[in-house]
Amino acid sequence: SQKIEQNSEALNIQEGKTATLTCNYTNYSPAYLQWYRQDPGRGPVFLLLIRENEKEKRKERLKVTFDTTLKQSLFHITASQPADSATYLCALDSGNTPLVFGKGTRLSVIA
Amino acid sequence: GAVVSQHPSWVICKSGTSVKIECRSLDFQATTMFWYRQFPKQSLMLMATSNEGSKATYEQGVEKDKFLINHASLTLSTLTVTSAHPEDSSFYICSAIGQGGEKLFFGSGTQLSVL
């Protein structure tokens, strides 16, 4: 069956450290993968998109990698700040259907 | 950037009443909008795809007669939860596809509580 797994429900890290979130998928062949940020009681906000032929994408303190062999994406936040505390969702293109989302990882950055 | 406005932000209603949620694209035309439902600590679950001027496409297990979707213009889609029951209490979020057809822009969500 098809699955998207974000293997940590919650992640706590110290301010200034790099947070690394993982997204694994099975039985999908996505053309691209996206990461969103969701704050409590709010809709998700788009952060980054990475295509199947791209290994890495960066935007300010964010970095995303995409390994289609491992069927995995890693999402990094460097020099993390308390304001980065939120739930981060990965989502992938499943072909003809709309984006499919993982359950998310709730990141807490502790000052 | 593209802005999607969703109202109301929260609503409390009695069991058996109907609730309408509006989703508007403010600075772009959205021929396609999506409605999601999210339970606490769960993933966004797609309920239906709303296409302007045509019937919505519902995901398996979603009752189309209970969750009425209308997409009468390029900037407005509505979701009506008919005869709401406590088990319909959830966070409902709409989204629209931006230019390029890849990124989704989400509304701020509606927390529905049915008593």
pLDDT 10s digits, A46-102? 999 999 999 999 999 999 999 999 999 999 999 999 999 999 999 998 766 678 899
Residues B83-105: what's their mean pLDDT?
A: 89
- Write down the mean pLDDT value for chain B: 92
**In chain A, which residues touch B (CB < 8 A)?**
4, 9, 32, 34, 36, 41-46, 49, 89, 91, 93, 98-104
* Mean pLDDT of the B32-58 span: 91
DSSP 8-state code for residue B55: -
Measured between its terminal Cα atoms, the distance across chain B in Å is: 37
CA distance A64 to chain B (A): 16
* Token code pair at residue B78: 């509505």
The 10 Å Cβ neighbour count of residue A65 is: 18
Q: Which chain A residues are within 8 Å of B99, Cβ to Cβ? A: none
Confidence tier at A31 by pLDDT (50, 70, 90): confident
d(CA A37, CA A85): 9
Q: Mean of the pLDDT values across residues B7-27?
A: 95
What's the confidence (pLDDT) of residue B28?
A: 86
- Alpha-carbon distance B115 to nearest alpha carbon in chain A (angstroms): 19
